[in-house]
Amino acid sequence: MKKPSGNKSTPRVALLIESSRSYGRELLMGIAKYVRIHGPWSVEFEEGDPGEHFPKWFGRWKWDGIIARVSTPDMAKVIRRTGVPVVDLSGSLPESRFPRIRSDEKAVGRMAAEHLLERGFKHFAFCGFNGTDWSDLRRASFEERISEAGFACLVFENPGPMKSFSLSDYEEHGERHERDLMRWLQSLPKPCGLMACNDSRGRQVLNCCREVGVAVPDEVAVIGVDKDEIFCELSDLPLSSVILNTQQIGFEAAALLARLMAGESVESASIVVQPMGVMARQSTDVLAIDDRHIATALKHIREHACDGLDVESLLRAVPLSRSVLERRFSQILGTSPKVEILRVRLDRVCRLLAESDLSLAEVAHKAGFEHPEYMSRLFKKKMGITPGEFRKFPGTAHLPLR
């Protein structure tokens, strides 16, 4: 290994990390946190994907260290020629033998499976970018956990040959074959819990479901990975997602690089960072129910609870008497239609308080409450704090899924 060539007090570090997605940006934030605490470093990076277009500035400097998502053999070759310490945040090319840090993909797959199993599904599916290291690991772990529970998992296969293996190429390939994906989604046994390899793929699944009239989450519940706010919130329904501890990965990568630049030997370092949990949103806000009348009632409540829906109106949407509806509701869900309507309304109140500056009167109106005072009393009773307190500290309380 070459001796570091830059100013010893200020190492010069290249960051070759795709930054157009939240995953890459979170990695950069984790690195920045380390540098603020333990720096200074002289850092160089740029927007875009260095795996596709290697930065022109890379060859202009002598680096003391590199943190990269090494995605292709050519990229690995160029980086190796520098002779300086490297930390790989991808792990897709284990033959490169760079020390690497990444998310625990097996834990990601199991966490998504547990989330869907808790909702009572008996049919499961996976839609990823088959052939990418991280997607394949997530799929294998998801399938394994579903198999342990006694169920099978259907997998969408990439149709046709791939020209190359970058993420953008996989996404472009997926867009060209959306018709195949639509047909596959229509063919799935229903109701079905589906894991998408990431939020980008999850959003595509939601869009395809909309195009072919597959109801989400009643017929297909979808969970992605990354907690990418743009993809999750701009989907037809907000997308549930496994939360990766991405900033911690970036922080640990910077810490490891600092050790390498100081001359420590960590020849075969391979570190995995556990995911943090699941952000549950509307795309999995469902219980898999064989009773289609109760499933229809739940769908109607979710779509119309904030439009002034009451139990009498609900009975016009399902061919059941009030006593039969309430009895089946109680047997299957352990609650009543009226309580479920209020739960959906209060969930809407929470979202509006956290994400808008609307007045309480406006929030009440949009959530289907005729009187703001009643909304506030009910909110305090169920949540333990007032709407105003929740708005100041929206992370201090939450409504259970059901």
Supply the CATH number for residue 253's domain. Answer: 3.40.50.2300
Of 88-92, 230-234, 308-312, 386-390, which range is least confident?
230-234
Q: Is the per-residue pLDDT at 253 higher than 60?
A: yes
Query: Does residue 217 have a cis peptide bond before it, meaning omega lies within 30 degrees of 0?
Result: yes
The Cα 256–Cα 85 span in angstroms is 10
Residue pair 289/328 in contact by the 8 Å Cβ criterion:
no
Radius of gyration of the chain measured on its C-alpha atoms: 25
CA angle 58, 59, 63 (to 5 degrees): 70
Give the burial string for 327-336 (b: 16+ CB within 10 Å, else e): ebbeebbeee
Of 359, 295, 362, 367, the residue nearest 333 (C-alpha): 295
- Domain end call among 235, 263, 284: 284
| Structural domain boundaries enclosing 97 | 12-103+246-275
| Whether residue 110 is found in the same domain as residue 195 | yes
DSSP 49-93: -TTTS--GGGGGS--SEEEE---SHHHHHHHHHT-S-EEES--S-
> Which band of pLDDT confidence, cut at 50, 70 and 90, is reported for residue 160?
low
User: Residue 360, exposed/middle/buried by CB under 10 A (0-12, 13-18, 19+)?
Assistant: buried
- Please report the pLDDT score of residue 118 as a whole number: 84
| Whether residue 109 is found in the same domain as residue 178 | yes
- Please report the pLDDT score of residue 322 as a whole number: 93
For residue 397, being part of any structural domain is answered with no
| Whether residue 355 is found in the same domain as residue 237 | no
Q: Is the per-residue pLDDT at 396 higher than 60?
A: no
For residue 324, being part of any structural domain is answered with yes
Average pLDDT over residues 125-151: 94
pLDDT tens digit sequence for 313-370: 999 999 999 999 999 988 887 889 999 899 889 988 987 887 788 999 999 999 999 9
Counting residues of the chain whose pLDDT is more than 70, the rounded percentage is 88
For residue 264, being part of any structural domain is answered with yes
- Please report the pLDDT score of residue 400 as a whole number: 41
The answer for residues whose C-beta is within 8 angstroms of residue 20's C-beta and 6 or more apart is 47, 48, 49
| Whether residue 263 is found in the same domain as residue 322 | no
| Whether residue 212 is found in the same domain as residue 114 | yes
- Please report the pLDDT score of residue 295 as a whole number: 82
> Which band of pLDDT confidence, cut at 50, 70 and 90, is reported for residue 57?
confident
| Whether residue 236 is found in the same domain as residue 193 | yes
- Please report the pLDDT score of residue 227 as a whole number: 82
| Whether residue 200 is found in the same domain as residue 259 | no
- Please report the pLDDT score of residue 51 as a whole number: 63
For residue 154, being part of any structural domain is answered with yes
| Whether residue 58 is found in the same domain as residue 187 | no
For residue 18, being part of any structural domain is answered with yes
Q: What SS3 class is residue 21?
A: coil
pLDDT tens digit sequence for 180-210: 999 999 999 999 999 999 998 999 999 999 9
- Please report the pLDDT score of residue 298 as a whole number: 84
For residue 270, being part of any structural domain is answered with yes
Q: Is the per-residue pLDDT at 2 higher than 50?
A: no
| Beta-strand pair 240-243/277-279 | antiparallel
Q: What is the mean pLDDT of the chain?
A: 86
Average pLDDT over residues 254-261: 94
pLDDT tens digit sequence for 363-395: 999 999 999 999 999 999 888 889 988 887 654
pTM for the predicted model, two decimal places: 0.74
> Which band of pLDDT confidence, cut at 50, 70 and 90, is reported for residue 291?
confident
The Cα 143–Cα 338 span in angstroms is 38
Of 5-19, 61-75, 147-161, which range is least confident?
5-19
For residue 1, being part of any structural domain is answered with no
The Cα 75–Cα 165 span in angstroms is 13
> Which band of pLDDT confidence, cut at 50, 70 and 90, is reported for residue 288?
confident
Of 31-35, 176-180, 243-247, which range is least confident?
176-180
For residue 398, being part of any structural domain is answered with no
- Please report the pLDDT score of residue 7 as a whole number: 47
Of 360, 354, 368, 356, the residue nearest 398 (C-alpha): 354
Q: Is the per-residue pLDDT at 220 higher than 90?
A: yes
The Cα 355–Cα 349 span in angstroms is 10
Domain count, the chain: 3
Q: Is the per-residue pLDDT at 5 higher than 60?
A: no
The Cα 146–Cα 335 span in angstroms is 28
Helix H or strand E segment including 382: helix 372-383
